[in-house]
């Protein structure tokens, strides 16, 4: 099995270009040599659509295969005003797109629309391509070009006749009845006795599936994972690294609470095929997940040698697991593929008899398009791709009421302006659920991108770090009223000025990682004007993790956060890593300290401490931030929008002035931390607000931050039921705290 580095971290210095772009599943990066030499991997994300569209010839290739075995599930076509082109996977060939003679696929509809445009032009009111319920097999990317665009008065809409009734499927479905039990020789290799009679197999050669062509494997809505040890259902599903050379070789830690799990390998490992063994984990840092081939493993000595060095080397007591082990195929959710014989082994659920296994096969994107405008995809179900889901660029593009699931890379990836992504359900995604970019930093030109009212869960299932529910790069992006949950790392990662993140509910994220936040951004003076307001962030971090609700890292400046509710995190509720001109007010923190030594709000002075390390990579980061600041201070738009921005003194390597000058860029000046409320649910004297180090010398306002003990839940009577409304008669309201509209947070019209 080829090794793959997944979830490469993006905690690096951003030096934004004029416009950020996205490029499908690929993230092009710029390496700063000095940082690379010191930190090993500091990556610069620049997104570009070039080369993503595959075949974009003038005549769309018909990449869907009509399924003629299942009749449509609708009773009649819904009434649609204007010009309608009808598509039905069960229709006879040769239709003209009328209700009585539908076309059979989207590419046929594209050809029809182009004919209309070239002859009579687009009709007033535009064209709706109405797609009948049924399954449409996608065998290669459906490409759109500028030629497929609509116009302001004549938009084009591709719409399922029944919400999520039209299913575009890039995989194969194999019924349970096709699977057979293991033979005695195979059973002897399975370590778990109970699993020997549960695991079933099938030869994929019988279905024309070649080696290297399969993506992910699913039973129902569950993504199966390669058989692993320890099992993912364990309370702690990881082993730990111990001493080694810090590059490729390490021992397995076998002491304290990890002893039993580690020593069990000496017996279980007798059945492992060590030639196919792989390992996945956070080898060097708890926020960088990677998959590695195991070059050798001494089972008796518990000594592991990886085929290549992880990005950050190998630390001590870092989390990892073994996978691709036939002998450990022992619980529902696991599979093993013998790539030599193309035999697929799965451990199915108890009710598998009438079920089926799905395998993603589509290599590239389901839908790709460049320079599109005035086009909508409405109510369509996109599923089973081992590439991306929808990858588009342009303007006035809408994705709404759709379902995207079982996508190995990014589900939706769009760059441009006037983009709307709303009312969709997105789940079981290997990387980003939604990635958007647009706008112009230098002129503060907004992208007018809206990500609204989506249900997003179980993203980053393959690339487990720095892949988000919403990944946003640009100016003028709004993320509102979404519900996001169940992920190993972040929910929202943002870069850019004048963005708004509001009314979202986020929970059960950052479940495997440390030093991270449910909402995260970092290291920049070019993100002024971004506002986080009225978000509910709760139950963040899993066993052994140290995860924040919101994390402004490494000197991020010019942010505003108010009216948010943060409950139950495994580390600080709000973590500000230096930075100036930040405002944190009227936020509610509940259950502090959760473990004894965390803070509701923690504000340190790391940007200054980085500048005080001459010749270090941290000083370089500080200088590069200041270089970007100096560039933007030449832009009148920034000076007009952010008073005082032009007065900041950019820090340089040869800076000889007063290092304690409050206007020096690395000093955390003019921050406001006030009118916040921290509610302790247990009686403790632990401090809940903290300004750390040199930051306390420069903070503008730190006042009226309140602490309460509410062990009996009098102040928040609904705490145990997840209702975080403060009681009407609470004294906080008399002390300047404003009511947070909890009832308005989350999805609308569920």
Q: Are 486 and 455 contacting, i.e. CB atoms less than 8 angstroms apart?
A: no
Label residue 20 by pLDDT band (50, 70, 90).
Answer: very low
pLDDT reported for residue 222: 95
pLDDT at 43 over 50: no
**Lowest-confidence pick of 22-26, 192-196, 286-290, 629-633:** 22-26
pLDDT reported for residue 5: 32
pLDDT reported for residue 62: 58
Span 561-585, pLDDT tens digits: 999 999 999 999 999 998 999 999 9
Cα(698)–Cα(672) distance, rounded to whole angstroms?
Answer: 10
Find, among 457, 472, 525, the residue nearest to 10 by Cα.
Answer: 472
Span 407-453, pLDDT tens digits: 999 999 999 999 999 999 999 999 999 999 999 999 999 999 999 99
Label residue 63 by pLDDT band (50, 70, 90).
Answer: low
Q: Which residues contact 136 (CB under 8 A, 6 or more apart)?
A: 64, 65, 66, 67, 89, 105, 106, 166, 167, 168, 169
Label residue 78 by pLDDT band (50, 70, 90).
Answer: confident
Structure-block tokens of residue 454: 């989506």
pLDDT at 114 over 90: yes
pLDDT at 198 over 50: yes
The predicted model scores a pTM of 0.89
> Which residue bears the tokens 């750390």?
692
Task: Using DSSP, state whether 444 is helix, strand or coil.
Answer: coil
pLDDT at 464 over 60: yes
Tell the burial category of 96 from Cβ atoms under 10 Å away from its Cβ (0-12, 13-18, 19+). Answer: exposed
pLDDT reported for residue 26: 34
pLDDT reported for residue 343: 97
pLDDT reported for residue 49: 34
Span 341-390, pLDDT tens digits: 999 999 999 999 999 999 999 999 999 999 999 999 999 999 999 999 99
Among 286-300, 587-601, 677-691, name the most confident range: 286-300
Sequential DSSP letters for 108-154: HHHHHHHHHHHHT-PPTT-EEEEE-SEEEEE-S-EEE-GGG--BTTB
Label residue 9 by pLDDT band (50, 70, 90).
Answer: very low
Q: Which residues contact 382 (CB under 8 A, 6 or more apart)?
A: 168, 366, 367, 389, 390, 402, 403, 404, 405, 407, 411
CB neighbourhood size of 258 (10 A): 18
Task: Using DSSP, state whether 667 is helix, strand or coil.
Answer: coil
Mean pLDDT, rounded, for 656-671? 92
pLDDT reported for residue 288: 93
Q: Which residues contact 559 (CB under 8 A, 6 or more apart)?
A: 521, 527, 528, 530, 531, 532, 552, 579, 582, 583
Task: Using DSSP, state whether 268 is helix, strand or coil.
Answer: helix
pLDDT reported for residue 698: 66
Percentage of residues in the chain with pLDDT exceeding 90?
79
Span 611-660, pLDDT tens digits: 999 999 999 999 999 999 999 999 999 999 999 999 999 999 999 999 99
Q: Which residues contact 212 (CB under 8 A, 6 or more apart)?
A: 339
Label residue 527 by pLDDT band (50, 70, 90).
Answer: very high
């Amino acid at each position: 099995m080829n090794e793959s580095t997944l979830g490469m971290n993006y905690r690096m210095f951003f030096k934004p270009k004029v416009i950020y772009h996205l490029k499908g599943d690929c993230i092009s990066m710029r390496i700063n040599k000095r940082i690379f030499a010191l930190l090993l991997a500091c990556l610069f994300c620049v997104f570009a659509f070039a080369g993503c569209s595959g075949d974009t010839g003038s005549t769309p290739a018909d990449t869907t295969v009509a399924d003629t075995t299942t009749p449509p599930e609708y009773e009649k076509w819904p009434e649609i005003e204007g010009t309608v082109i009808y598509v039905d996977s069960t229709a006879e060939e040769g239709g003209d797109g009328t209700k009585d003679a539908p076309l059979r696929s989207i590419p046929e509809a594209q050809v029809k629309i182009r004919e209309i445009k070239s002859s009579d032009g687009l009709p007033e009111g535009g064209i709706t391509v109405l797609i009948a319920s049924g399954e449409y097999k996608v065998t290669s990317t459906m490409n759109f070009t500028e030629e497929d665009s609509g116009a302001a008065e004549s938009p084009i809409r591709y719409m399922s006749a029944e919400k999520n009734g039209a299913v575009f499927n890039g995989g194969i479905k194999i019924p349970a009845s096709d699977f057979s039990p293991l033979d005695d020789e195979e059973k002897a290799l399975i370590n778990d006795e109970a699993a020997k009679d549960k695991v079933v197999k099938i030869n994929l050669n019988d279905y024309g599936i070649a080696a290297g062509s399969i993506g992910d494997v699913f039973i129902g809505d569950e993504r199966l994972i390669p058989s692993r040890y320890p099992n993912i259902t364990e309370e702690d599903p990881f082993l730990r690294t111990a001493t080694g050379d810090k590059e490729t070789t390490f021992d397995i830690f076998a002491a304290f609470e990890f002893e039993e799990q580690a020593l069990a390998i000496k017996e279980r490992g007798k059945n492992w095929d060590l030639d196919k063994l792989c390992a996945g984990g956070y080898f060097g840092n708890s926020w960088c997940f990677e998959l590695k081939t195991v070059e050798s493993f001494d089972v008796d000595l518990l000594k592991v040698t990886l085929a290549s060095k992880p990005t950050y080397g190998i630390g001590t007591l870092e989390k990892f697991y073994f996978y691709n082990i036939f002998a450990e195929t022992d619980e529902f959710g696991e599979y093993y593929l013998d790539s030599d014989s193309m035999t697929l082994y799965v451990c199915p659920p108890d009710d598998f008899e009438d079920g089926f296994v799905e395998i993603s096969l589509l290599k590239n994107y389901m839908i790709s398009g460049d320079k599109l405008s005035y086009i909508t995809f409405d109510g369509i179900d996109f599923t089973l791709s081992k590439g991306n889901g929808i990858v588009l660029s342009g303007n006035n593009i809408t994705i709404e009421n759709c379902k995207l699931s079982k996508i190995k890379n990014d589900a939706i990836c769009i760059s441009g302006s006037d983009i709307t992504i709303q009312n969709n359900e997105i789940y079981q995604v290997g990387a980003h659920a939604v990635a958007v970019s647009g706008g112009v930093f230098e002129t503060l030109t907004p992208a007018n991108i809206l990500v609204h009212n989506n249900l997003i869960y179980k993203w980053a299932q393959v690339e487990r770090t720095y892949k988000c529910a919403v990944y946003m790069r640009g100016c003028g992006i709004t993320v509102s009223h979404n519900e996001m949950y169940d992920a190993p790392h972040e929910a929202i990662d943002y870069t850019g000025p004048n963005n708004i993140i509001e009314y979202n509910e986020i929970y059960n994220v950052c479940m495997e990682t440390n030093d991270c936040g449910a909402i995260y951004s970092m290291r920049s003076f070019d993100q002024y004007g971004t506002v986080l307001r009225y978000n509910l962030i709760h139950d963040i971090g899993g066993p052994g993790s140290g995860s924040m609700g919101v994390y402004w890292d490494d000197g991020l400046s010019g942010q505003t956060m108010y009216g948010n509710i943060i409950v139950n995190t495994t580390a600080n509720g709000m973590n500000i890593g230096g930075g100036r001109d930040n405002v944190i007010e009227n936020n509610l923190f509940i259950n502090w300290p959760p473990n004894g030594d965390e803070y509701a709000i923690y504000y340190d002075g790391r940007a200054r401490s980085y500048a005080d390390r001459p010749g270090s990579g941290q000083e370089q980061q500080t200088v590069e931030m200041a270089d970007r600041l100096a560039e933007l201070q030449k832009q009148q738009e920034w000076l007009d929008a952010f008073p005082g921005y032009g007065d900041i003194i950019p820090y340089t390597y040869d800076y000889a002035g007063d290092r304690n000058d409050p206007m020096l860029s690395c000093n955390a000046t003019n921050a406001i931390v006030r009118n916040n409320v921290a509610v302790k649910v247990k009686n403790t004297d632990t401090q809940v607000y903290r300004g750390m180090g040199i930051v306390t010398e420069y903070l503008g306002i730190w006042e009226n931050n309140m602490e309460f003990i509410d062990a009996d839940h009098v102040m928040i009577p609904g705490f145990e039921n997840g209702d975080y409304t403060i009681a009407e008669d609470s004294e906080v309201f008399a002390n300047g705290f404003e009511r947070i509209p909890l009832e308005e947070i989350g999805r609308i019209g569920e």
